[in-house]
Amino acid sequence: MATITKPETLLGKRIRRREDPRLITGTATYVDDIKMPGMYYAAILRSPHAAANIRSLNVQPALARKGVLTVFTGKDTEHAGSVPCGAALPGLRVPHHHLLALDRVYFVGHPLAVVVATDRYIARDAAELIEVDYDVLSAVADPEKALAAGAPAVHPQWPDNTAFTFHQEGGEVDKAFAEADVIVKQRITSQRLIPMAMETRGVVADWRAAERALTLYTSTQAPHLVRTLVAQVLGLEDNRLRVVAPEVGGGFGSKIDTYAEEILMAFVAMKIRKPVKWIGSRREDFLCTIHGRGHVDYYELAARRDGEITAIKLKIIQDLGAFLSLLTPAIPTLSVLMMPGLYRTKNIRADVVGAFTNCMATDAYRGAGRPEATHGIERMVDILAAELKMDPAEVRLKNFIHNEEFPFPTATGLVYDSGDYAAPLRKAMDMVDYGKFRQEQARARQEGKLLGIGMSTYGEICAFGPSPATPAGGWESSQVKVEPSGKVTVATGISPHGQGEETTFAQITADELGIGLDDVIVVHGDTSLVPYGIGTFGSRSTAVGGTALYFALQELKTKLKKWGVTLLESEDVTLADGRCTCNKSGKSVSFQEIAFAAYRAMKVPAGAEPGLVSTYFWEPPNFTFPFGAHIVVTEIDRDTGEVFIRRYVAIDDCGKILNPLIVDGQVHGGVAQGIGQALWEQAVYDDNGQLITGELMDYAVAKAPMMPWIESGHTVTPSPVNPLGVKGVGEAGTIGASPAVVNSVVDALSHLGVRHIDMPLTPEKIWNLVSAGGGK
Amino acid sequence: MIPQEFEYSAPKSLDEAITLLGRGAKPLAGGMSLIPMMKLRLAVPDHLADLGRIKDLSYIREHSGSLLIGATTTHYAVESSALVRSKCPLLAETAANIGDVQVRNRGTIGGSVAHADPSADYPAALQALEAQIVARGSKGERAIPIDSFLADTFTTALEPGEIIREVIVPIDGAGVGVCYQKVAQKASGFAVVGIAVRIQRGGEKLSMVRVGVTGLSNRAYRATHTERALEGRTGTPAEIEAAANLVAQGVDANSDIHASAPYRTHLAKIHAARALAKALARAE
């Protein structure tokens, strides 16, 4: 009788993250933990001005400092290529982005020179000795001001500060507006944010001249993309460049990009023929790691009296910053794709203007274009409801795409995979007892209290994505290696940095192979260890990378079965529970026995080869489209304007759930960043282009004591796009949160005539509105 | 952090520290303000004298109707001291509201007062308590009333070479109610506005009212208009509101991205009223 090694499935279980012990005991290896014999340290001199011509640059005083090896300036890197932008749009103006400024600086923090020294303190001190003579120019830091006539030109060759315009249209917009019973309009902003990974960016570059081999350790979300792009820029063969993402302390999208410093350290290492390290300070991370959001949106909604939305018009002004980072111009086009939200209307018109400003580039930050779109449409639905004096839930329920309409082609060219949009809303309304709350609110208003309830029913686009729609490709790879002992090593092309795939991918593998979780390890983030992969972003890791793993496992199972047939000398075998069993004799061989036999190879099955390895590259046929409903109850201190979140209910539908503990964590973290945008966070540049929220003393990220209790729940609508039925949940919380919070606060103040408030909802803004409302 | 190169000394005694100051060293206490400034290279001292090794500078003692608090006593020590909680609860409540746990574990009362940050919490309480700051220099020791000590933003009455040895606060008798109330700046934890109140009831009337305000202007100050408006009154809600409305009288309010001058002023009035009401309730 065969022993049953694994009686239950692991998928769907709350399994603790296997990553955590090393993280909470301080034994994980981050870039700054890497030390090499003979390693030099780099410090970067950065511009204190947002716009200036460089009259002269004297590096002699730095070179004279004891311990300084060399200094590189823009002249040295002039022909070393350009920091890459991977997004393409018709007519896109891409400024040449030198690794180091040549004769002009374009934003505060713009790198001018890199000092290489024997330790980081000497490097920093020496960088300050460099003498720069600036001819300071007028700067522009606001995208609308940048587009106005007479604004300072960020790039002198393009005086209109316009990088691109983008138009998308579907259906009959003009007709719908002409026939509308009601039209509502609103300007809605989504402020610039700092992604604020706990670990700042950093690079160690190690060049072995004799081997012509370069290893780059970098804090990135996409090591293979870094390899391809750095190799291209520096003219190095990509098979001689190894990129390692060691432990990465958060990214939130900001570490998808290939940055100047990554290319620069590779350049320096190849020049000095020694390893070199650069670790960004928090200040550098504020100034020179991409920012998120930065939208000014003009919305118009056409609707019938009964609440049916008949058309949406949207003009987006996207603050791009001075240079285009990897995906900068693509982000607002994602907003356009998701502008209809969960609603049925096929009449949409969008116009995007990408505006250069003398600021750091914006790019993908948790949600990347979808939070802006969701915030806009979810605010507009509430504004429409207020105009029609309808309940906001009723307007949503009236406009949702019906369950029988899936797969649903949208006016923006997407096909929503599956959905049951009313389900999470109804569940969330039940959890807060919506009807009862409205009565309580009415009573509270009688007593002069300001109590509000707000909802958002968000949709998002995840699992990036089909390759034709994703710069650099949207597939993912996985390799499953069974060792002779029967232990399994999974190599994945995604690059987890907090998402927990070392756990979930082991769950998938253990379940498919019928072995224990501890028999599996998952490796990632090293281009010499894993097949070419795309990386971790856009809530794609499980839906695309997990599916690649799933298919690799199916191939592996076919091989296992072939070995089982040979070992059992029977064609009639079943592979289950970690054994291959002959259905006639009942004899069986264990997974471990098969593994050993495959490497010992005494008798190789027909059509098989020795060893047990399987590699699969999976191209997804579509995106996935998670959705959900968040409901927030707020109370406002009418004397001070401070907002208190009394309840936060999040019902998310991310398809099938592989590990509820990890999904909860993703929702909580996402909601924290969404509430952060709604209430506290903002990157503020002054008129001179100085970042005045450039330290954690002034930029308020959400901290644990500031967070409400999150009541989390789910509905489960499997995705038909992949066999796991998963959709993705990494960004859902961020996307759902900000409109729910703002809708709640606007609801609390609606009887004072308040219709919209731009984020962040600072107490002062609220207090001004309450005061203007007569203090009623 | 990568500060500019500096010399570091760790004197074992206050006199040794004073000698080092005489040679141009800058004193380092908990470092909760100086170190971040050095990190940003806004402060670039050539020489630091670390007061952390001076053993007899961290203490809390009762002495003839006062509490004596050594300069390097941490906020956490003050917050958690049974002596301070029972004899000077306003100071304990204020200490508990400073920054976060990490800051309270390292930051010191002497360091905070010497830095004279206009948004620091302690100065409001010390104003309400009419505290004395004991400073020692090469020529000896002197006690400076807190109101003269806090000269301006980041500016104190300390002479070059002088160092804070001790803070003296009074022990209040029965019938005194106190309260510290603050609006914390969300990023830094500093006070956008902080109000410290100390009230004594003598029979029906309020015999003493002391109100210290921080965050609102160039330095923490006593809101004497508010104090005078309440002293001798019974402390009705209307009287409290009227008095609280005088809290910013004659004050040039700060304005920054976290709060405009009118909003700061408004917050000061609201929280003065709340702190007064709470202190009054505690005095009952």
**pLDDT digit string (tens) for B56-93?**
899 999 999 999 999 999 999 999 999 999 999 999 99
Is B4 an 8 Å CB contact of chain A?
Answer: yes
The per-residue pLDDT for range A547-599, each reduced to its tens digit, is 999 999 999 999 999 999 999 999 999 999 999 999 999 999 999 999 999 99
Strand ranges across the sheet with A710-714: A450-459, A627-636, A643-653, A710-714
CATH code for the domain of A224: 3.90.1170.50
pLDDT tens digits, A497-552 = 999 999 999 999 999 999 999 999 999 999 999 999 999 999 999 999 999 999 99
Residue of A nearest to B190 (CA): A697
Nearest to A499 by CA among A723, A654, A342: A654
Instruction: Enumerate residues 6+ apart whose C-beta is below 8 A from B96.
Output: B79, B104
The pLDDT of residue A774: 55
A427 and A506 share a domain? Answer: no
- The alpha-carbon gap from A682 to the nearest alpha carbon of chain B, in Å, equals 10
- Residue ranges of the alpha helices (H) in A110-199? 120-129, 143-147, 173-178
Kindly write down the DSSP assignment for every residue of B68-122, as one continuous string: EEETT-BHHHHHH-HHHHHH-HHHHHHHHTSS-HHHHHH-BHHHHHHHT-TT-SH
The alpha-carbon gap from A746 to the nearest alpha carbon of chain B, in Å, equals 20
* Residue A674: predicted pLDDT: 98
Cβ contacts of A43 on chain B, cutoff 8 Å: 2
- Is pLDDT at A1 greater than 60 in this prediction? no
Q: Provide the CB-side half-sphere exposure for B153 (13 A, CA).
A: 8
In chain A, residues with a C-beta closer than 8 Å to the C-beta of B260 are 764
Q: Spell out which chain A residues touch chain B, with contact meaning CB-CB distance below 8 angstroms.
A: 43, 120-121, 124-125, 128, 281, 283, 639-640, 680, 684, 692-693, 695-701, 706, 763-764, 767-768
Q: With CB atoms and an 8 Å threshold, state whether B257 touches A693.
A: yes
**pLDDT, position A594:** 98
Q: Are residues A265 and A414 in the same domain?
A: no
Among candidate residues A507, A488, A726, the one with its CA nearest the CA of residue A13: A507
Q: In the numeric block, which tokens belong to residue A347?
A: 């009449």
Domain boundary among A561, A589, A618: A618
Contact A641, A764 (CB under 8 A): yes
Which pLDDT belongs to residue A472?
84
Give the integer Cα–Cα distance in Å for A559 and A553.
Answer: 10
Residue A63 resides in a domain: yes
Q: What percent of chain B has pLDDT over 70?
A: 100
Nearest to A125 among B4, B186, B188 (CB): B4
Cα–Cα distances (Å) from A376 to A64, A187, A395, A599, A678, in that order, read: 56, 9, 15, 58, 13
Query: According to the model, what pLDDT value does residue A776 have?
Result: 47
- How many domains does chain A fold into? 3
Q: What is the mean pLDDT of residues A175-204?
A: 98
pLDDT, residue B202, reads 87
Which positions in chain B touch A701 (Cβ < 8 Å)? 187
The backbone torsions φ and ψ at residue A582, rounded to the nearest 5 degrees and listed phi first, read -80, 125
Phi-psi region of A637 (alpha: psi -120 to 50; beta: other; left: phi over 0): beta
State how beta strands B155-156 and B150-152 pair.
antiparallel
Q: Classify residue A45: in a domain, yes or no.
A: yes
* Secondary structure (H, E, C), A710-751: EEEEECCCCCCCCCCCECCCCCHHHHHHHHHHHHHHHHHHHH
**Encoding tokens for residue A694?**
């450039």
Burial of A465 per CB tally in 10 Å (0-12, 13-18, 19+): buried
Contacts of A706 in chain B (CB under 8 A): 186
Q: Is B262 left (phi over 0), alpha (psi -120 to 50) or beta?
A: alpha
Contacts of residue B82, Cβ cutoff 8 Å, sequence gap at least 6: none
Token pair belonging to A97: 């982005």
Show residues of chain A in contact with B257, CB under 8 Å.
Answer: 684, 692-693, 698
Q: Which two tokens stand for residue A284?
A: 């550098």
Residues of A in contact with B270 (CB under 8 A): 639-640
Best interface-test mutation with A: which of B37, B44, B186, B190 has the largest number of A CBs within 10 A?
Answer: B186
In a domain, A456, yes or no: yes
Give the closest of B40, B41, B187 to A700, CB-based: B187
Q: 């499935």: which residue's tokens?
A: A9
One domain, residues A486 and A440: no
Which chain B residues are closer than 8 Å to A283 by Cβ?
Answer: 40
Q: At what angle do helices A763-772 and A732-749 cross, to 10 degrees?
A: 30
- pLDDT of A55-103, one tens digit each? 999 999 999 999 999 999 999 999 999 999 999 999 999 999 999 999 9
Cβ distance A326 to A86 under 8 Å? yes
Cβ partners under 8 Å of residue A431, min gap 6? A631, A649, A651, A711, A713
Please give the Cα distance from A418 to A623 (Å, whole number). 11
Strand pairing category for A579-582 and A588-590: antiparallel
Window 178-197 of B: residues touching A by CB (8 A cutoff) are 183, 185-188, 190
> What residues are paired with A44 via a beta bridge?
A114
**Domain membership flag for residue A167:** no
Whether residue A640 is found in the same domain as residue A755: yes
Contacts of A82 (CB under 8 A, 6+ apart): A96, A97, A98, A233
Set out the domains of chain B in order of their start, with CATH numbers: 7-53 (3.30.43.10), 55-170 (3.30.465.10), 176-283 (3.30.390.50)
Residues A607 and A676 in one domain: no
- Is a pLDDT exceeding 70 seen at residue A372? yes
Q: Please tell me the distance in Å from B68's CA to the nearest CA on chain A.
A: 32
CA dihedral of residues A392, A398, A402, A407 (deg, nearest 10): -70
Report CB contact under 8 Å: A697, B186.
no
- Chain A residues closer than 8 Å to B2 by CB: 43, 120-121, 124, 281
Average pLDDT, chain A: 96
Q: Which of A404, A429, A420 is nearest to A342 (CA)?
A: A420
Q: How many residues does chain B have?
A: 284
A767 and A636 assigned to the same domain: yes
The pair of structure tokens assigned to A516 is 């224990």
First to last CA, chain B: 50
pLDDT of A155 > 80? The answer is yes
Q: How far is CA B241 from CA A342, A449, A450, B180, B262, in A?
A: 50, 20, 22, 17, 18
What is the structure's pLDDT at A361?
98
Cβ of A121 within 8 Å of Cβ of B259? The answer is no
Determine the Cα–Cα distance for residues B26 and B50; give it in Å rounded to an integer. 8
CB atoms A693 and B260 under 8 Å: no
3-state secondary structure of A668: helix
Please give the average per-residue pLDDT across A340-354, as a whole number: 97
- Identify the CATH number of the domain in which residue A748 sits: 3.30.365.10
Boundary (domain end) residue, out of A267, A288, A309: A288
Say yes or no: A614 and A688 in one domain.
no
Let me know whether A79 and A210 are in one domain.
yes
Tell me what ipTM this predicted complex has. 0.95
Q: Cα separation of B198 and A100, whole Å?
A: 59
The predicted structure's pLDDT at residue A732: 96
Q: Please give the mean pLDDT across all residues of chain B.
A: 96
Both structure tokens of A725: 């039925």
Q: Which residues pair with A560 in a beta bridge?
A: none
β-strands A643-653, A627-636: how paired? antiparallel
Q: pLDDT-derived band of residue A365, with 50, 70 and 90 as boundaries?
A: very high
Contact residues on chain B for A120, CB-CB shorter than 8 A: 2
Q: pLDDT-derived band of residue A135, with 50, 70 and 90 as boundaries?
A: very high
Rounded to the nearest angstrom, the minimum Cα separation between A125 and chain B is 6
Same domain (yes/no): A614, A642: no
Residue A194 tokens, joined? 């700092």
Cβ pair B187:A125 closer than 8 A: no
CB contact under 8 A, B186 and A680: yes
- Residue of chain B minimizing CA distance to A123: B2
Q: What is the mean pLDDT of residues A335-343?
A: 97
**A293: CB partners within 8 A, 6+ apart:** A190, A191, A192, A193, A362, A365, A371, A372, A677
Query: Which tokens sit at A319?
Result: 């603050």
- How far, in Å, CA of A62 to CA of A42, rounded? 13
Nearest to A94 by CA among A85, A104, A105: A85
DSSP SS3 for A27: coil
Q: What is the mean pLDDT of residues B163-191?
A: 96
pLDDT for residue A142 is more than 60: yes
Q: Are residues A658 and A679 in the same domain?
A: yes
Q: Residue A2: pLDDT above 60?
A: no
Q: Give the domain-ending residue among A288, A313, A344.
A: A288
Q: Which residues pair with B200 in a beta bridge?
A: B176, B208
Residue B284 pLDDT? 78
Q: Is B260 on the interface with A (CB under 8 A)?
A: yes
Measured between alpha carbons, how far is residue A372 from residues A304, A323, A627 in Å? 25, 21, 15
Residue A531, domain member (yes or no): yes
Element spanning B60, H or E: strand B60-63
Contact B41, B6 (CB under 8 A): no
- The pair of three-digit structure tokens given for residue B173, joined into one six-digit string: 């008798």
Give, to the nearest 10 degrees, the angle between helix A370-388 and helix A392-399: 110
Query: How far apart are the C-alpha atoms of A665 and A106, rounded to whole Å?
Result: 39
- Count of CB atoms situated within 10 Å of the CB of A270: 17
- Whether B188 sits inside 8 A of A640 (CB atoms) is no
A8 backbone dihedrals φ, ψ, rounded to 5°:
-130, 160
Strand order in the sheet with B47-50: B7-9, B47-50, B26-28
Q: Are residues A130 and A84 in the same domain?
A: yes
* Closest residue in A to B188 (Cα–Cα): A697
Residue A448 maps to a domain: yes
Q: Min CA distance, B36 vs chain A (Å)? A: 10
Q: Is residue A160 part of a domain?
A: no
Q: At what angle do helices A732-749 and A660-675 cross, to 10 degrees?
A: 50
Instruction: Identify whether residues A131 and A237 lie together within a single domain.
Output: yes
Strand order in the sheet with B66-70: B60-63, B66-70, B163-170, B132-137, B140-145
Could you list the residue range(s) of the whole structural domain that residue A492 is in?
20-27+475-618
Q: Which residues contact A567 (CB under 8 A, 6 or more apart)?
A: A580, A589, A593, A594, A597
Q: Is residue A677 part of a domain?
A: yes
Confidence of residue A717 (pLDDT cuts 50, 70, 90): very high
Return the H-helix or E-strand segment holding B125: helix B122-128
Token pair of A760, please?
């962040």
Runs of H (alpha helix) within A65-200: 74-77, 120-129, 143-147, 173-178
